[in-house]
Amino acid sequence: MTAEAVIDHPLGPNTVDDWLAAEPPADGSHLELILGYLHVAPPPSGSHQHAAFELAVLLRNAIRVAKRHDLHVLPAVGVRISSYFRTALIPDVVVVDVDVHHVSFAPENVLLAVEVWSPGNTRAERETKMAAYAAAGVPHVWIVEAPRGEPVKFWGYRLGETEYRQEIYAGNGETITAPGPVPVEVDTSALT
């Protein structure tokens, strides 16, 4: 995926400032800004949240073992990807290198973004988000697919010059060391 995918899309009327000023949905839905259009995703399912929580715990523990007191794991926080491309996302988990006392975070402070894809995430949405993370310079992205009743899939990506390179793939029941700001051992069977 390349950052150029974002450039060919007409921008919507909303800005990152509009997104920051918007009231969060009362039902727990996530409000994201993708290329100037506000997108509301329904509240995540229990299985979605379970996978995200397990990954957040693994990350927190690995950061503690590595004694990286400069890194913090946060679930579901806003990331101001690009004002120019009018994009702001809410990854399921992030690792940041700044203090946690912010309403949203700049992409240069995000070292890892984790997305747990749901069946409702369209291919276009997935590609746009990956291109946005790449264009913003987020060094690592993890993708998890854990559809109900199906095997878990895990991908770990590292940013090259302009696009992500897949560094690791794991199917259900496999244990791998995922790329990121610290080494993290992930047992995919714990994500279901």
Separation of CA 175 from chain center: 21
Residues of the chain with confidence (pLDDT) below 70: 1-9
Consecutive H or E run containing 128: helix 123-136
Q: What is the per-residue pLDDT across 22-75, written as a single tens digit (0 to 9) for each?
A: 998 888 889 999 999 999 988 888 889 999 999 999 999 999 999 999 999 999
CATH number of the structural domain spanning residue 176: 3.90.1570.10
Distance, CA of 188 to CA of 49 (rounded, Å) = 15
Nearest-CA neighbor of 140 among 178, 174, 113? 113
Counted domains in the chain? 1
Would you state the pLDDT for residue 83? 83
The range of the structural domain enclosing residue 15 comes to 4-191
Residue 8 is classified by DSSP as T
| pTM, two decimal places | 0.90
Instruction: Give the sign of the dihedral formed by CA 123, CA 87, CA 96, CA 101.
Output: negative
Distance, CA of 66 to CA of 184 (rounded, Å) = 10
Question: Which long-range contacts (C-beta less than 8 Å, at least 24 apart) are formed by 16-20?
Answer: 16/80, 16/82, 16/83, 16/86, 16/87, 16/88, 19/78, 19/88, 20/78, 20/80, 20/88, 20/103, 20/104
